[in-house]
Amino acid sequence: MKRPPMLMHMRIQGEKGGFGLWLPLFLLLPLALVVFIILSPLILVAAIILWPSGWGKRAFLSLRAAIEVFWSMRGLSVDVHSGRQRVSISVV
Amino acid sequence: MSDNKKKILEMLAQNKISADDAYRLLSAIDGGEGRRESGNKAGTAVKDKAKYLRVTVVPGADSERSGNCDRVNIRVPMSLIRAGIKFTSLIPSDARDKVNLALHEKGIDFDERNMKPEDIEELIGALSDLEVDVVSKNGESVRVFVE
């Protein structure tokens, strides 16, 4: 079973300075669940209205695909140096 | 029992083919199925083995000494590529037609609608053999590979 990403580390270094940021993704998951539960009646109504046009199904599939992409991000690492500038993103 | 095997046995029962012919045909079918199974196992092994797509750009020694160089190190999980490809099925049909038309104008006759999930798996499995290694005159090295 795939595990969701836990942390995202961003580091941006410019000519004059830079900053690093640790994003605790594991804290976003309960938050997203709470938001989803609160908004679920609205989502359901929107889905019922949009279903005949085909956009309701598309929206649900998009949500599913977005969750799958988020779940698959563990291990992603981007590190780009250009002269003294540096952008680094890693998901663990 | 597969349909083909049944047909062969029926033909044997109706004396349309000899016992030797039936044996040869049944062996050929069993061999084909065996090969297909071992091929599937190999495909799964490759899929399990390949975990990341890596793109690296390493500058040459001269550029590195001057300090004016680019260095890139990207690691993309294969599962993310798989999930990203699935996103293409959500492209609205009119937008997809435009993409297909643009590809056709560039001489690429490719319709994404014809891609089946098993094709995507095969494509990702085949990526494990991918290796691009380019070294420029100034020693800069660009590598794309799967690990």
> Interface pTM (ipTM) of the complex?
0.79
With tokens 């993409």, the residue in question is B99
- What are B98-116's pLDDT values in tens digits? 888 888 898 888 777 777 7
pLDDT more than 70, % of chain A: 99
State how far the alpha carbon of B135 is from the alpha carbons of B53, B54, B125, B143, in Å: 19, 16, 26, 9
A-contacting residues in B 42-71 (Cβ below 8 Å) = 51-52, 67-71
pTM for the model: 0.66
Binary contact (B89, A74; C-beta < 8 A): no
Binary contact (A75, B77; C-beta < 8 A): yes
Interchain contact A67–B (C-beta under 8 A) = no
CA angle A16, A20, A26 (to 5 degrees): 160
Instruction: Report which secondary-structure segment, H or E, holds B52.
Output: strand B52-58
